[in-house]
Structure 1
Amino acid sequence: MDGHVRIGSLYGSRDSVTRVDATSLWRMGWFSRAYGRFTGWVDRLVGWQRLPRPLGLAVLVGLRDTLRRSNLHDAGGTPTAAPFVAAWTTQRTADGSWNDLDQPAMGMAGARFGRNIPLRSVLTGDAREVLTPNPRTVSRALLTRRSFKPAPSLNVLAASWIQFMVRDWFTHGHGPAADAWSIPLAPDDPWPGGSLTIPRVAGTDNLHTHWWDGSVLYGNSVAEQRAARTGSEGKLRVGAVRPVLADGGRDPSQEPGFWLGLVMLHDLFAREHNAICDRLRSDHPSWGDEELFQRARLVLAALLAKIHTVEWTPAMISHPTTVTAMRANWWGLAGERVRRGFGRISANEAISGIIGSATNHFGVPFTLTEEFVAVYRMHPLIPDDYEVRAAFDDALIRRWNLRELSGPAALKVAAGSRMADLFYSFGIAHPGALVLDNFPRLLQEFERPDGRLVDLAATDLLRIRELGVPRYNEFRRLMHLRPATSFSSLTGDPLVAARLRTVYGDDIESLDLMVGMFAERPPRGFAFSDTAFRVFVLIASRRLNSDRFFTRDYTPAVYTQAGLDWVADNTMVSVLLRHHPELRPALREVANGFAPWHRVGR
């Protein structure tokens, strides 16, 4: 591999000039830069994860400032927003427009993905780059799950949750079938039919809104919202047989990626939306359907963001320093008690949290990024095999495999099961670890609802290359990390290193980003790599900083005080218990709903 190639046609002439806003100018001052250089030196010399918690937090603050200054890049391609409507000052629009009242198209559905690397470093996505080494060869040799490797500190709801979030956050869409990538097969490859094709992406635009707005429940258009709503009291349609919304009016159970875990969380949070409506209506009996719906949507979107920030992410990266850092993103280092008792005691986000602070885009219009998409390819979390057990006494009800819980079959299983039993079964089981040799077998030969076979591992590899994300070592350089000097130094396991060399030769620079992240030794308590963590350090806070409904408009006037209290008071566990109180024995003394639950009767 020859490093990175010129940007080519992926962005064409639509590059835009980064606009610097006044609130971020201070970050370009000499102290911020000097502090960033110093903390970067400490991180490379010692590692933030090896430092005592206060020092580790101080280093992470410096690393985040460096990333904010150097790793936010606007790729242009802004769509056109509809004319302004006064109600949108206090409501989220269906398509994500008008979140920023000065730049109304920022982050709306159809906006181009941004980048966390300079545009000149984006690879071209030409055929040689995309197909070398053969993604099917990499899939078979390095990713195939021969025996299940569990992540013992998590439960399967953690795997369901991230797909639920991804369905809210992004999709590229597929190009025409006639323009698909054709993957050569080895003579001994048992792939059915003798040929493997993978559709190209439709482009570099996000078909979803870029904001954290619950579009997985509400859709990305007014028409999808109407389909989701009952038309009375602001409520959503509920029931396991109701499909999750999809773009373009398609039946989502016929779309790849639809499975039981998605149905369960959709049902749970549709019920939570309706509970919020009941709470708001008790305070405001004169409010009609539209007002109740819009306010409940604001509250639920904030609750989803909070659960992800202070529960899911700390469960995935349970190092003491990062647990504190993620809680500080929401509550501030002063802590939840101080924030709830006295409100914001400082304008500084580190002290009092990002929520309710000033909106800040750090000089670059907000979008999600292609690099963010790349590091969220976490399919090894999904098990192949499942046991459904009774929440009452842990009795085995039935065993299923992933294929039997996917597509339209997922709706039949949900309709024929007690939802509490399904949640209990996911809560006591472990997901897969994000490591080599642990990709779900049934996703390496996955039959889509339309009958076409897909190797999702090969597809993940190809997508990252196709969208111009650099290979592992160059990605680390661009994220201010030292590259791996050899396969042995990367893995610490000579047998694994030998297998990597079998696929990539002696060229460490050709190592795929996803493979490198799975091979890397993560920090203590981490379910994913430190390489991926650098993108999270940047984007996890930026998604809150840029959204006015989490910053300047996170107020009682917009949410109501009851709405703000609902977000503050609730967790994944409280949501589960509100709608499925029979789960109480399994959730006794469980502080984080994504950690393993108690097995009843044991």
Structure 2
Amino acid sequence: MVNSEPRSRGYRDTPPWRLFTALTEIVDRLVGWDRLPVPLGVLELIGVRTKLRQDNLHDTSHLPAVNTPPVPDYSPEFLVNRTADGSYNDLREPAMGMAGSRFGRNIPLAKVVPPDKAAVLSPNPREISRALLTRTSFVPAGPVNSLVAAWLQFMIRDWFSHGTGPTENPWEVPLAEDDPWPERPMHIMRTRTDPTRPAGREDLPPTTVNVLTHWWDGSQIYGITPDEQQFLRSGSDGKLRVLDNGLLPMPDDPAADPARVPGFWLGAELLRTVFALEHNAICDRLREQYRSWSDEELFQRARLVNSALLAKIHTVEWTPAVISHPTTVAALRANWFGIAGERVQRLFGRIADSEVISGIPGGKTDHYGVPFSLTEEFVAVYRMHPLIRDTWHFRSAATDETLLDCEFPDIAGANAVKVLNTIDMTDLLYSFGTLPPGLVTLHNFPKHLQEFHRPDGHVQDLAATDILRSRELGVPRYNEFRRLLHLAPAADFHALTGNPHWAEEISKAYHGKIEDVDLTVGMLAERRPEGFAFSDTAFRVFVLMASRRLNSDRFFTEYYTPAVYTQTGLDWIRDNSMLTVLTRHYPGLRPALSGLTNAFAAWPVRP
């Protein structure tokens, strides 16, 4: 086993900082950041993030590798343009974060457990799915709307994918006698093996690669290859292709059709359409200002602006909506604007080099001693399928009359395209805005995802798959995960959850072994801070990785300048929000949105 690994060292490693992080760790365990007044809570989270940056960034890119994706030859335009494959974001390490590079880890590589068959299948993931995750009745998350669920899937299609797993040699999951599953045993495809791992190096910790770029670059809109971009672009004025009906074109080649990819559904395609239109609106604004610019120049500037707007919306709108504790709202806004605040930034710009004072955008690029990548633990905590509803009620934005009542399969895969072509986008967005998503908790997994009919004909229990996948990828079980993130483990099942009935159910499912409880189950069962739609354990990974995605990306830091974006582009990012995006392209939504300050909050139903 390779034990030496690059990790963050020396970051804020001075006596005052060591004292501060030690104190915040004690307070975190004894009191909790969420029980402190907001100013103290924000300071507590700064200490938590500092400790995580010091101890929980672990590099896999230094491990021996073969068949790594080729890095394009350098071209001067890479200095100011995002490449399709994510290369050259870091000019000194051009392969960092590009498509086909490895996921990193938030735990030491020595703690990454290889996928032993007995450990992966025990306790039986299908039985855990049935006993603890099955939605017995819909538990809504409030006060937010189903655009929260759509946005998350829309973002994930930008951030990470392990690719399509091989069909041969699947995991075989035994089934109970009373299990109605249509095949015996249940088959769950394995994660695609790491094509860069040298043959015969079983001593290396298991790693996997990200099919997508690791950067926050809007690749779900723009593609990750030149061929994909060529299909998506109109070839005129920098714009993307949009059909006369306001929808996006689908490729004629079935192999390239996104509707045939598992996970394609109406919510994610709605938002891809919205932000393709936003890209084109940015092109129009830039064209007004810079009439001599070429199609390529307009496309590249608009892509930068649109990607940064997505990152801003996620940071200061989506995330505060789903973790709406006053402390986290303040901390997330500080990530973007600094503690000096939005008003100071609007009036004076950055007033200090410090990200704490003036926010991350426009500050210094910093990898904290470890090459940037998204991590397997980041993927694991984003398994939030309970956000998805089973039943959907589509209504008119103008009259609130019913247009369609349906189930989730009716808006997934090719069926999503049919709905897009029969119901107006304004009405679809209004319906998403007025329907609550599910709470990320036990016994609230969508029934249609527990028996998900994939476009390739396979039937999949995504709840069982979520459990198995974290085990397969070496993500620690709940208690060990918490220890490695400097949190106290659950002493017993009643300490794990405040629900005595759940404690008994979990104990039975895990045969009384608290250390065997899976990360997903523990996160769904634990006490949530006030205003949270998901767990505090998951939040710890966000504290670390949400800011890191901004800190490491030079297009959000040192290159976030008028010379690269144009002042017009920076003004667009500053002045816009999800509310302005929606009303710009779908003015019929203005009545529903008129009283809101956050588009992810529950929309009022038309009287």
Q: Same fold (TM over 0.5)?
A: yes
Q: Is the 8 A contact 1:382 1:431 kept in 2?
A: yes
Superposition pairs for residues 300-319 of structure 1, below 5 Å? 300-319=306-325
Partner of residue 428 from structure 1, selected from 423, 434, 440: 434
Kindly provide the amino acid, as one letter, of the partner of residue 181 in structure 1: W
- Relative distance call for 1:102 and 1:213 in structure 2 (3 A) is same
Question: What is the CA-CA distance between 1:241 and the residue it aligns to?
Answer: 5.2
1:383 aligns with 389
* TM-score, length basis structure 1: 0.95
Q: Is the 8 A contact 2:242 2:249 kept in 1?
A: no
- Relative distance call for 1:227 and 1:211 in structure 2 (3 A) is same
Superposition pairs for residues 372-411 of structure 1, below 5 Å? 372-411=378-417
2:40 aligns with 55
1 CA distance for matches of 2:295 and 2:442?
50
Kindly provide the amino acid, as one letter, of the partner of residue 391 in structure 1: A
Partner of residue 73 from structure 2, selected from 77, 80, 83: 83
2 CA distance for matches of 1:94 and 1:567?
22
2 CA distance for matches of 1:55 and 1:188?
53
Measured against aligned partners, the alpha-carbon deviations of 1:203-259 in whole angstroms (never above 9, x if no partner) come to 300000000000000011111111111111111112465367999952110111111
Partner of residue 212 from structure 2, selected from 208, 213, 224: 208
Q: Is the 8 A contact 1:217 1:244 kept in 2?
A: no
Kindly provide the amino acid, as one letter, of the partner of residue 156 in structure 2: V
Measured against aligned partners, the alpha-carbon deviations of 1:285-328 in whole angstroms (never above 9, x if no partner) come to 11111000000000000000000000000001100000000000
RMSD: 1.6
2 CA distance for matches of 1:86 and 1:29?
40
1:10 aligns with none
Indicate whether 1:230 and 2:234 are aligned: yes
2:26 aligns with 41
Kindly provide the amino acid, as one letter, of the partner of residue 456 in structure 1: L
Indicate whether 1:342 and 2:342 are aligned: no
Indicate whether 1:438 and 2:457 are aligned: no
Measured against aligned partners, the alpha-carbon deviations of 1:452-496 in whole angstroms (never above 9, x if no partner) come to 100010111111111000000000000000000111111122211
Q: Is the 8 A contact 1:243 1:252 kept in 2?
A: no
1:123 aligns with 113
Kindly provide the amino acid, as one letter, of the partner of residue 290 in structure 2: H
Matched length: 586
Q: Is the 8 A contact 1:472 1:516 kept in 2?
A: yes
1 CA distance for matches of 2:22 and 2:384?
31
Q: Which runs of 5+ in 2 are unaligned?
A: 194-207
Partner of residue 224 from structure 2, selected from 220, 227, 242: 220
For 2:509, what is the secondary structure of its paired residue?
A: helix
Q: Which runs of 5+ in 1 are unaligned?
A: 1-6, 8-12
Q: Is the 8 A contact 1:155 1:430 kept in 2?
A: yes
2 CA distance for matches of 1:99 and 1:245?
29
For 1:521, what is the secondary structure of its paired residue?
A: coil
Partner of residue 326 from structure 1, selected from 307, 321, 332: 332
Q: Is the 8 A contact 2:7 2:58 kept in 1?
A: no
- Relative distance call for 1:522 and 1:247 in structure 2 (3 A) is farther
**Identity of counterpart residues, as a percentage?**
59
Kindly provide the amino acid, as one letter, of the partner of residue 118 in structure 1: P
For 2:306, what is the secondary structure of its paired residue?
A: helix
- Relative distance call for 1:168 and 1:508 in structure 2 (3 A) is same
Question: What is the CA-CA distance between 1:29 and the residue it aligns to?
Answer: 2.4
Superposition pairs for residues 466-485 of structure 1, below 5 Å? 466-485=472-491
Indicate whether 1:193 and 2:183 are aligned: yes
Indicate whether 1:18 and 2:3 are aligned: no
Q: Which sits farther off after the overlay, 193-202 or 469-478?
A: 193-202
1 CA distance for matches of 2:214 and 2:252?
16
Partner of residue 499 from structure 1, selected from 486, 500, 505: 505
1 CA distance for matches of 2:570 and 2:87?
23
2:203 aligns with none
Q: Is the 8 A contact 1:349 1:357 kept in 2?
A: yes
Q: Is the 8 A contact 1:106 1:365 kept in 2?
A: yes
1:4 aligns with none
Kindly provide the amino acid, as one letter, of the partner of residue 128 in structure 2: V
- Relative distance call for 1:278 and 1:590 in structure 2 (3 A) is same
Kindly provide the amino acid, as one letter, of the partner of residue 94 in structure 1: A
2 CA distance for matches of 1:268 and 1:216?
12
Kindly provide the amino acid, as one letter, of the partner of residue 379 in structure 1: H
Indicate whether 1:167 and 2:167 are aligned: no
